[in-house]
Structure 1
Amino acid sequence: MQQASDKSVIISEILDPRTKNLLSMSKISDYVLSNELVSMALAMVAEDRQINDVLEELFAEEGNEMHIRQTDLYLREGEELSFYEILLRAQQRREIVIGYRFANAERAVINPPAKSERRRWSLKDAFVVIAEKDE
């Protein structure tokens, strides 16, 4: 039971942004500031109405979702490819790669700036993908 507890991630929903200060004193590992998310979504739609279609697709019960995919779905070990080439391979699978996470990195890189730069990928890396729900 203790092992499961040590590996658990607690995510809290925060409605009042002033509550964020209290989180630093607790053992809550992450939070969602839901009112802020709604405000950001409204601002994006106000700026460009077409964003609403994208948001509806991502937040719909059925349809596309964000996934973390292993690189072996798109390449072979040590293969040297640009991010654009990875995008084309994902497109053949009816997926959209929006970023990656190197095996030794803590955080993913979303919308990488040097998309045409070729690099040697590892099978331990991962891609952040928008794709239909896994069955």
Structure 2
Amino acid sequence: MVMAKRLPYRESLVSQIHRGSFSQGSWIGEMQQASDKSVIISEILDPRTKNLLSMSKISDYVLSNELVSMALAMVAEDRQINDVLEELFAEEGNEMHIRQADLYLHETEELSFFEVLLRARQRREVVIGYRLANAEKAVINPPAKSEKRRWSLEDVFLVIAEKE
């Protein structure tokens, strides 16, 4: 059961079971607490369902048919993109990661995005964007790559790297 793995006090519940002090009420409470912290991501096949989800404020879903259509459109436009997509979506090979800023810089440094790219390259990684600590959205392929900035250790970088 997936929810059982997410229980915050699973180890303490196991020890309570062995002592015989486990009650039905505490089990239900723990499941509700785990449910509040769980994220369920649905696969949507019909694009019309996307409109229903937007009305219900659900944002965690994958529209798999749309992803396939977009990939086919990219390959139709430029056949060389197929090699990139194959590398990213194959079971082996590189994949996208979110990395903490402290892998590439120190708190007091002022670096441009290009300099961060060079440091990531030494780790055999390719930085494609970043998300600042106080921002909600990531910046992919930033326009001002040579502009120096003071990064925070709370910032994260989006990288393409080998599987860990």
Q: TM-score normalised to the size of structure 1?
A: 0.93
Whether contact under 8 Å (1:10, 1:28) holds in the other structure is: no
Deviates most, 19-28 or 99-108: 19-28
- 8 Å Cα contact 1:71-1:123 kept in structure 2: yes
| CA-CA distance at 1:55 after TM superposition | 0.2
Give the structure with the larger helix fraction: 2
| Residue in 2 that maps onto 1:52 | 82
Structure 1 unaligned regions, length at least 5: none
CA RMSD in angstroms comes to 1.3
Preserved contact between residue 11 and residue 28 of structure 1 (Cα < 8 Å): no
What is the DSSP-based 3-state SS (H/G/I as helix, E as strand, rest coil) of the residue aligned with 1:24?
helix
1:88 is displaced (CA, Å) by 0.5
**CA shift for structure 1 position 125:** 0.5
Q: Which has the larger radius of gyration?
A: 2
Q: How many angstroms apart in 2 are the aligned matches of 1:69 and 1:17? A: 33
Structure 2 unaligned residues grouped into runs of 5+: 1-30
- Give me the whole-angstrom Cα distance separating, in 2, the residues matched to 1:25 and 1:110: 28
Aligned residue pair count: 134
Q: Aligned-pair distance for 1:23?
A: 1.2
Using the aligned pairs only, state the percent identity: 90
Structure number having the greater strand percentage: 1
Counterparts of 2:58 and 2:38, CA distance in 1? 10
Higher relative contact order (CA 8 A, sep 6+): 1
SS in 1 for 2:55: coil
Q: How far apart, in 2, do the equivalents of 1:99 and 1:79 lie? A: 18
User: Residues 11-63 of structure 1, C-alpha deviation per residue, up to 9 Å, x if partnerless?
Assistant: 11111111112213546431111111111101101111110000000000011
